[in-house]
A and B are shown apart, each in its own frame.
Chain A
């Protein structure tokens, strides 16, 4: 798989380590309680189809990316800097 890094162009997925569902960006508020954190840490949507997920460019520029990928075909549909995604979400909430 080749990941279209927004800054570096197409990079081999082997340069990255995989964390999982991009929903992990949305860590609950510390006051949200145990149930919210339990859901956050342990439960996943695990869809068959389009999946937004976190990849870390460990053997590259060490940036976190949000990669959109189809889990049925392994087709990669896009990649963004996770930082941009997190900032956009924060602005969306504000």
Chain B
């Protein structure tokens, strides 16, 4: 089934009776060439790229719950490529380019909206740092503009420019950044992968690995043993739990990050604004809700919910930046489990177990990376070589001293 405007009109005129499920619900086969553990955004994107780009026909995605029940359905939907370090920025710009053609590739409306992201700055030192970052972005082929205060005023005249502690002096703007419909991304990849023969198996939790002679042979699951030529784990916040089943310890702590949405409002914010100094960022969904968040709670958690002090912290940041937010009512808050790595950067690599591959450590920035993560992990699984933009994401970089620490805070996951 191909989606098109014509199809929508035809279905509207015929009572919407012609729509079919977006993907099959198959039982697992005895074995596959490649098994992906984790049916979230990254796992589904990996399966799609394995089938669509690398011609792999026998691929399965195992999901312990229902498709998209983890962070792909819990994030604040922001896509951007405004990183600094050489190991990161080309990868995220590759991801941005994949976002720009995703809907055509997948024939699915993921509501990719390049509405721009503005990182506010408050000091001369921050301006210097953002100028450097902007130049790094331009070198990678991304776009970046440094705005002065007047430039920010033209975009958002209602911001609190005269905050006593953090007066707004300007901002770093990436116009190609924006938002995407997070669930739609999962559904789009799932549908496109399914159409290319990938089996997406839900309610199938991996309970162990069968490893002989240092090589993985398959996975034990709640729906029986499944043989695999290669196994790729993309389990986000549960990465440590899954890899522990293979006897591996990871440079990762799992933390909870909360997000918030207000009641639906008329259009007030047409882009994405980040207020790093106040631990607050915000955009407005197409339904009108202000979608915003702040820092992680800061302690190990698998609970998918956080505590009230972070509510207070985030809402205070919001009030400091845009006092008029005080008139809006908070509709919902929720939490997701972040795989916080020891340098704040991800891992896409082989593991000491032959045939077992790892995609993890995305911290709270995994959503924007979804297409490139899937592409690079599929590249690694299919060719046993890293994608050219993901060569720095090695598992052993900590031992070698080649960490990619954007914030420069060292091995303290709750500060990244």
Contacts and interface: CB of A to CB of B under 8 A. Distances in A.
24 contacts: A1-B307, A13-B299, A18-B298, A18-B414, A20-B253, A20-B412, A20-B414, A21-B300, A42-B251, A44-B240, A44-B249, A44-B250, A44-B251, A44-B253, A45-B240, A45-B249, A46-B253, A46-B300, A48-B238, A51-B300, A53-B300, A71-B300, A73-B303, A74-B301
Contacts of A18: 298-299, 414
Interface in A11-49: 12-14, 17-21, 34-35, 38-39, 41-48
Interface residues of B, number: 25
Nearest to B310: A14
A94 interface: no
Most buried by B among A12, A18, A21: A18
A72 interface: yes
Interface residues of A, number: 28
Contacts of B298: 17-18
Interface string A68-79: 010111100000
Contacts of A72: 302-303
B241 A48 contact: yes
B309 interface: yes
Interface in B49-97: none
Contact of B309 (A14, A35, A45, A73): A14
Contacts of A47: 240
B372 interface: no
Most buried by A among B241, B253, B299, B307: B299
A51 B254 CA distance: 12
Contacts of B238: 48
B13 interface: no
B197 to A, nearest CB: 34
Contacts of B302: 48, 71-72
A18 B296 CA distance: 12
Given A18-B299, A38-B399, 17 more contacts: A13-B299, A13-B309, A20-B413, A21-B253, A34-B399, A42-B251, A43-B250, A44-B250, A45-B244, A45-B249, A46-B250, A48-B241, A48-B254, A48-B302, A69-B299, A73-B303, A74-B301
A23 to B, nearest CB: 11
A73 B299 CA distance: 12
Interface string A50-68: 0101000000000000000
Main secondary structure of the interface of A (DSSP, over half): mixed
B102 to A, nearest CB: 32
Those 9 A-B pairs whose CB atoms lie nearest each other, nearest first: A46-B240, A42-B251, A42-B398, A48-B302, A43-B249, A38-B399, A18-B299, A14-B309, A42-B342
B159 interface: no
B240 A71 contact: no
Contacts of A51: 300
B251 A53 contact: no
A37 to B, nearest CB: 10
B411 interface: yes
Nearest to B254: A46
Contact of B303 (A19, A41, A74): A74
B234 interface: no
Contacts of A39: 249
A61 B25 CA distance: 57
A43 B250 CA distance: 5
B295 to A, nearest CB: 12
A70 to B, nearest CB: 9
B252 interface: yes
Nearest to A38: B399
A1 B303 CA distance: 13
Contacts of B253: 20-21, 44, 46
B235 to A, nearest CB: 12
Contacts of B399: 34-35, 38, 42
A41 B411 contact: yes
Contact of A42 (B299, B300, B309, B411): B411
A93 to B, nearest CB: 22
A34 B401 CA distance: 11
Contacts of A46: 240-241, 250, 252-254, 300
A12 to B, nearest CB: 8
Interface in A70-93: 71-74
